[in-house]
Structure 1
Amino acid sequence: MAIPVETFHLSAKAKGTLQARIQQMVAEGILSGRFQRGEKLPSTRKLAKHLGVSRITVTLAYTELLANDYLSARGRSGYFVSDNAPEPPDFGPLAPREDRVDWDQALARRYTGGTRLRKPDDWAGYRYPFIYGQTDPQLFDHANWRLCAMQALGIKNFTALTMDQFANDDPELVTFIARHTLPRRGIMAGPDEILVTMGAQNALWIAAQLLCADGRKVAVEEPCYPELRGLLNNVGAEVQSLPVDQFGLRPDSVPDGTQVLFTTPSHQCPTSATLPRSRRDTLLERAADMGALIVEDDYEFEMSFLRPPSPALKSLDEDGRVIYVGSFSKSLFPGLRLGYLVGSADFIREARALRASVLRHPPGHIQRTAAYFLSLGHYDALIRRMSRALNERRTVMETAIQEHGLQIAGSGAHGGSSFWMKAPDDVDTEQLAKELSWQSVLIEPGAPFFASANPPRNFYRLGFSSIPSERIAEGIKRIGTALAKHGAGR
């Protein structure tokens, strides 16, 4: 690997001749570890031109470093950091800098703090990872995704790959969403009513910024996706949490004066409850009476392998008051960060302008690759394969859960990839999760999903998208054994 010539700068504070200063500059780069053994230095001509010195000065500096075994010469190839160059000394951790900025005063707004979901970076190294929302590499269609990515890199797609599209989206992806994805949910929308986003999280952020700022009265489900509460708190919304039951949100619990409601009717997060059709109709009527808007997060609707999904709220909306959030990140892979917003043209116009002010548009190559993967039928084939696998895993989990006496608090009536679980009242699942991690078992404690200062500590979520069927029974057994020990200690 060649060291870029731009890396070299002569310090105006350094003392000595130009030759000595160049020697010191190179030696310090080696001793600090910035220049590694075997890396090629710039040619004497190139470095001399860059530093504004004579070539003979650089040559003499290199020669001296060569004699001291900092550098080696390889025929006509040039100069390299010697294999015998001194090892960088281990100075230990750097001394802390004195930061004289009062960040409590300097920061106009904070985004840290609050409750967030956390997953170990090394979750894939656990043998029993009951982690929600991660991709199983055995199920993903690597070969066809790679082919679609290569196709998107071709000269035919040069414009989609390289052009700054300003506020626009890939027309092929938008066309697929409008003609294929949304009609499956009973939604008809034109291109001016669709916005591609960087996943559902970005879509929710845009909706929160446009609809919920400056003290707007906003209602969310309890429990709910923790990051949503963070988004709403950051824009200064007045947030009220509405408890859900085994059927999801109760329309009569939405308080008077609510201006925006966020809901997950098809697959409540995290309980997996599905809102019945009667409640959907009543909820729309309630919102219309109050003049409220509804943001519908329809995540994971593709995973309806038990029975067809219920109609989306957006498909029942005749007033244009439902903003629909969809995502390919759950059904393809979370690192894709590709979702979409669907709403009235007036709303999408403002959403497009807001997105453009922050990140212009999602990368063109990613959009075009996804468009090919979707339109060539690979996506549908992947969904069918995932549905079969998840259905099998769900069956294995239900059997193991029953065998070991665990309690399911919520499971998707239509499918999904997780169970919402309830431990005995006196079990803290944060502590349980730590104990299980020592046995290579990962579970997700449920407390972060609740808004209260003293949330129930005995709920937890078990995802099964990332664990093979043959490991599920043993993993559930270990959870049951750990819970039994807690019971024995009472």
Structure 2
Amino acid sequence: MAISVETFFLNPQFQGTLQSQIQQMIAEGILSGRFRRGERLPSTRKLASHLGISRITVTLAYTELLANDYLDSRGRSGYYVSENAPVPPNFSPPQRGEDKVDWSRAIGRRFTGGDTPEKPQNWASFRYPFIYGQTDPTLFDHANWRLCALQALGQKDFTALTTDYYDQDDPRLVEFIARNTLPRRGIIARPEEILITLGAQNALWLAAQVLLTQRRMAAIEDPCYHALRDILTQSRCHLAPLPVDRDGLQPESIPPQTDVIFTTPSHQCPTTATMPMMRRHALLERARELDALIVEDDYEFEMSFLDAPSPALKSLDTDGRVIYVGSFSKSVFPGLRLGYLVGSESFIREARALRASVLRHPPGHIQRTAAYFLSLGHYDALIRRIREALRKRRAVMQDAIDQHGLKIAGQGAHGGSSFWMQAPKGIDTERLAAQLHHKGVLIEPGRQFFNGSGRPREFYRLAYSSIPVERIPEGVALIAGALK
């Protein structure tokens, strides 16, 4: 029996090549039982004509399936479903009954209901995406990243790709961080003091789990990174939200019972305030007085294009009480999910054991690809390109904001990728965002960054990392018009 060509159609939303889509269609048909052993497939010419694609594309797809024993070829007769193809399960799934579990009682702890907002996955389809933390495809070095990924898949790196590191990491990546990345922040660390994580958020979670209990107190900035507050709330520790000013966290406001201080001194999240050197020393002295630890989230230090970044808090620490969090996800691309923790060996040992019990280690292929991308100089070239683009976009956005009389509540002293904005009193920026959404404008309301009830609703964040420079003036004009 021949399989009708009409059963094949292309999905315009498919992420991948035409060849891989054809392979997937046929493989799924065999695995689901729709295509049975011995059935003949449409000829390559007929299927190519039906789908409106090149015949060589279909031929290559059939050849790959032939190599994997999904198909076999019979002389001039064509391609057939192989007798050795996987057999679909020969059973009928039972009818699902009514769920009789009372999940309101069965769930011991709840992790939903936090402050982390849902960001639109289709942000790139908006004409004015003033959205934070996404990758600009015009700036990303896709060609060299692909080459590094292919190199990491090579025979020479077979062990790095396939090995179970258990609680360890790719030594090449760790070595690069120790010898190149950290010294740029004034930090000297041994490999035993470095742990690779699945991004900065995973690093913050590991730090919170290791350092905090229900009896301990964590001091956090207010406003702050909303995911951090969710993490600390889930840890059930005592929280002390501390208001920030134009220089960031105020050391004198830290309560005497504080055990761990979480701070973003280079670019305060979300106000972008940069903590000056005098206050950094004061913060270290306050932590010393309290015998408290400091978790420093040093995100966006690479985006200092107006001036050289201030030294990391960790570089000024002589007591070993600062735990440093770094990330490549913000600077390379957010889907990379690759960061690192730096701290005293005793702390890293516990964080490593906790990570191993949850996820072992980040995938070896990702680590080795990143190691190549960093060590071959592609990362530094990417950062230079991003800095230059952000410099131009920031200048254009500053002019547009000034022209329309919008109020800036905070901007990074050394650069960054966003402005922290304040709307006139009485404006709810969540409603403003909903109105602008229909005009193709994306902004980020600021309410979720604040702690407790009665959170301010007039703040919002405008990022310029993912919007073309020529669209910035018109987008800001639309925001100003909506505010009026």
Instruction: Please say whether Structure 1 and Structure 2 have the same fold, judged by a TM-score greater than 0.5.
Output: yes
Residue 375 (structure 2) aligns with: 375
Identity percentage of aligned residues: 66
Instruction: Write the distance in 2 (CA, Å) between the matches of 1:441 and 1:97.
Output: 45
Residue 450 (structure 1) aligns with: 450
Aligned residues: CA RMSD: 2.1
Residue 225 (structure 2) aligns with: 225
Map residues 430-469 of structure 1 onto 2, 5 A cutoff.
Answer: 430-469=430-469
Residue 40 (structure 1) aligns with: 35
Q: Deviations over 1:40-60 (max 9, x none)?
A: 32359xxxxxxxxxxxxxxxx
Q: Report if the CA contact (8 A) 2:30-2:36 is conserved.
A: no
Using structure 1 for the length normalisation, give the TM-score: 0.81
Instruction: Write the distance in 2 (CA, Å) between the matches of 1:79 and 1:195.
Output: 48
Q: Deviations over 1:75-114 (max 9, x none)?
A: 574469xxxxxxxxxxxxxx99622111122112111002
Q: Deviations over 1:7-42 (max 9, x none)?
A: xxxxxxxxxxxxxxxxxxxxxxxxxx9879996323
Instruction: Write the distance in 2 (CA, Å) between the matches of 1:252 and 1:415.
Output: 27
The residue identity in structure 2 corresponding to 1:194 is I
Which structure has the bigger radius of gyration? 1
Q: Deviations over 1:363-386 (max 9, x none)?
A: 000000000000000000000000
Residue 22 (structure 2) aligns with: none
Map residues 282-361 of structure 1 onto 2, 5 A cutoff.
Answer: 282-361=282-361
Residue 133 (structure 2) aligns with: 133
Residue 144 (structure 2) aligns with: 144
Instruction: Write the distance in 2 (CA, Å) between the matches of 1:142 and 1:294.
Output: 36
The residue identity in structure 2 corresponding to 1:120 is P
SS in 2 for 1:149: helix
Q: Report if the CA contact (8 A) 1:167-1:361 is conserved.
A: yes
The residue identity in structure 1 corresponding to 2:184 is R
Residue 260 (structure 1) aligns with: 260
Instruction: Write the distance in 2 (CA, Å) between the matches of 1:206 and 1:228.
Output: 11
SS in 1 for 2:395: helix
**Structure 1 unaligned residues grouped into runs of 5+:** 4-32, 45-73, 81-94, 485-490
Instruction: Write the distance in 2 (CA, Å) between the matches of 1:454 and 1:419.
Output: 23
Instruction: Write the distance in 2 (CA, Å) between the matches of 1:200 and 1:149.
Output: 22
Q: CA 1:97 to 1:455, structure 2 compared with 1: closer, same or farther past 3 Å?
A: farther
Q: Deviations over 1:315-357 (max 9, x none)?
A: 0000110000000000000000000000000000111110010
How many Å apart are 1:189 and its aligned residue? 0.2
SS in 2 for 1:415: coil
SS in 1 for 2:209: helix
Q: Report if the CA contact (8 A) 2:29-2:35 is conserved.
A: no
Q: CA 1:418 to 1:39, structure 2 compared with 1: closer, same or farther past 3 Å?
A: same
Using structure 2 for the length normalisation, give the TM-score: 0.82
Instruction: Write the distance in 2 (CA, Å) between the matches of 1:263 and 1:482.
Output: 34
Q: Deviations over 1:100-130 (max 9, x none)?
A: 1111221121110021122111111000000
Instruction: Write the distance in 2 (CA, Å) between the matches of 1:265 and 1:404.
Output: 30
How many Å apart are 1:197 and its aligned residue? 0.3
The residue identity in structure 2 corresponding to 1:314 is K
The residue identity in structure 2 corresponding to 1:161 is L
SS in 1 for 2:158: helix
Map residues 380-419 of structure 1 onto 2, 5 A cutoff.
Answer: 380-419=380-419
SS in 2 for 1:311: coil
How many Å apart are 1:159 and its aligned residue? 0.3
Q: Report if the CA contact (8 A) 1:40-1:78 is conserved.
A: no
Instruction: Write the distance in 1 (CA, Å) between the matches of 2:339 and 2:323.
Output: 13
Instruction: Write the distance in 2 (CA, Å) between the matches of 1:135 and 1:456.
Output: 29
Q: Report if the CA contact (8 A) 1:421-1:462 is conserved.
A: yes
Instruction: Write the distance in 2 (CA, Å) between the matches of 1:219 and 1:168.
Output: 31
The residue identity in structure 2 corresponding to 1:347 is F
Map residues 2-21 of structure 1 onto 2, 5 A cutoff.
Answer: none
SS in 1 for 2:275: coil
Q: CA 1:414 to 1:162, structure 2 compared with 1: closer, same or farther past 3 Å?
A: same
The residue identity in structure 1 corresponding to 2:120 is P
- Quick check: 1:237 aligned with 2:237? yes
SS in 2 for 1:206: helix
Residue 162 (structure 1) aligns with: 162
Q: How many residues in Structure 1 have an aligned counterpart in Structure 2?
A: 411
Q: CA 1:424 to 1:152, structure 2 compared with 1: closer, same or farther past 3 Å?
A: same
Instruction: Write the distance in 2 (CA, Å) between the matches of 1:100 and 1:440.
Output: 44
Residue 71 (structure 1) aligns with: none
Residue 207 (structure 2) aligns with: 207
The residue identity in structure 1 corresponding to 2:218 is V
**Structure 2 unaligned residues grouped into runs of 5+:** 4-27, 40-73, 83-94
Q: Report if the CA contact (8 A) 1:167-1:353 is conserved.
A: yes
Q: CA 1:290 to 1:36, structure 2 compared with 1: closer, same or farther past 3 Å?
A: closer
Residue 13 (structure 1) aligns with: none
Residue 63 (structure 1) aligns with: none
The residue identity in structure 1 corresponding to 2:402 is Q
